Amino acid sequence: MASETIFNGITAGATSDDIVISQDEGIVVFFQEGIAGVEAIVLKQKVGSNYVAIVESGAAIVLDVNNTNQGCRGPAIIQLVCPSTAGATTVVKMSRQP
């Protein structure tokens, strides 16, 4: 299992660099701590040259106080967008080989 810190205790909004997930990585899970209230970290996927929110049943997939982790499979290029009001937020990506 491999891990990588995406955000480390950030205290303001931020957008991650491209997170490239290969098909060989198996399941990749993003874990967060520090998000409170109605704040949410939005997961976006690169489509062409644009990033679009990943949506399921009409709602964007997010990391928030009720959902501290989200998983996905590659291949994909993902970007995380943290709210401007975030306080001491950390996000870690963990992957395991299939």
* Per-residue pLDDT at 71: 87
| pLDDT tens readout for residues 20-79 | 988 877 789 999 999 888 889 999 999 999 999 999 999 999 999 998 999 888 889 999
Phi-psi category of 38—alpha, beta or left, where left has phi over 0 and alpha has psi -120 to 50? Answer: alpha
Q: Domain residue spans in the chain?
A: 2-95
58 Rama sector, left if φ>0, alpha if ψ -120 to 50, beta otherwise? left
- The CB density around residue 88, as the number of other CB atoms within 10 Å, is 13
Are 68 and 32 spatial neighbours (Cβ–Cβ below 8 Å)? yes
CATH class of this structure's domain 2-95? mainly beta
| Structure tokens that stand for 76 in this block | 């994909």
More confident residue, 31 or 88: 31
pTM of the predicted structure, to 2 decimals: 0.86
Residue with more model confidence, 96 or 7: 7
